[in-house]
Copies of this chain bind each other. A is one copy, B any other.
């Protein structure tokens, strides 16, 4: 019944509900002596912040983070770092009508079955808003990994609904609201405008790459690096699939084709996605995730209520028509958290 903690040595415990007083997390296990300020975290939160374009939810949250502990005179002390984000733009009245109904595709039904009680305001704890503390914790992990290993994270969109997005350049990713690695995003904008008008939603595919991961991180069994990555990625709201390296395409490859040849100067390809036997190879860690369409839509859907009576559900309020649009920085944070944990595990083993 507990289960809100991520990681073994770099442990993140998440708390909060979408419309409660606050959300946040406690990071336990950050090494001492790293400089850390709220601005380091805020910049990552701002990347996933709602209300920044017409393609995402119009909920207006500054998501201002406060460091409550674990930092003294601008340095981490090695003790738990508690991060607090107050919820400021709650409009509970928007959600009152669905307190007794189960939205198709939403966690309403399962929370009700699990707990016998649920906080219906904005989806309560099942809201994608709870990824904000994860992003905040990920910012700390990213900073440490960058300083100690030069690791860099690159998340971007490769598919929006039915539109495949070619890779042009990482430089474009920060220049459009889709985290798309393309110069021209007009087709994406038109697609989203059409969806919004029709009161519908769509899915997406996000790819995230970590560059600068040393060889030798991960455990053979069961806590493999890829297993832990799959765990955090599939645990992200709306994710229904995870691939590493060649992913499902590897089922169609021959052994002579899939296995990445090794030369003194390095690997000739990266079908492995940077992981062999659950342990990093030193190549890019390469992950793709499939995100389902948002379940909260204006299109009427048949469902039942808590009494089992037939209802027609129309979800008003403010929602992302594609939660994948803001998912790239979240996927980066999740990957960073896994790598940070294995970085410390490796130190425990080898002492360096």
Cβ of A301 within 8 Å of any chain B Cβ, yes or no, is yes
Q: Which residues of B contact A214 (CB under 8 A)?
A: 113
Would you give the shortest CB distance from A15 to chain B, in whole angstroms?
Answer: 4
Q: Does the CB pair A4–B117 fall under 8 Å?
A: no
Q: Which of A96-130 contact B (CB under 8 A)?
A: 102-107, 109-111, 113-119, 121, 124-126, 130
Q: In this complex, what residue of B is CB-closest to A345?
A: B1
Indicate the member of A72, A235, A324 with the most B CB atoms within 10 Å.
A235
Q: Does the CB pair A250–B292 fall under 8 Å?
A: yes
| Identical chains in the assembly | 4
Given A9-B1, A109-B281, A302-B263; A82-B205 close (CB under 8 Å): no
Q: Which of A134-192 contact B (CB under 8 A)?
A: 159, 161-162
Q: Does the CB pair A4–B33 fall under 8 Å?
A: no
Q: Which residues of B contact A264 (CB under 8 A)?
A: 304, 308-310
Given A68-B21, A69-B22, A240-B245; A262-B302 close (CB under 8 Å): yes
Would you give the shortest CB distance from A122 to chain B, in whole angstroms?
Answer: 12
Q: Does the CB pair B32–A117 fall under 8 Å?
A: yes
Q: Does the CB pair A229–B221 fall under 8 Å?
A: no
Given contact pairs A113-B281, A203-B258, A268-B302, a sample of 9 additional A-B residue pairs in the complex whose CB atoms are under 8 Å apart: A2-B29, A5-B28, A20-B72, A104-B259, A126-B278, A201-B255, A240-B244, A241-B243, A258-B295
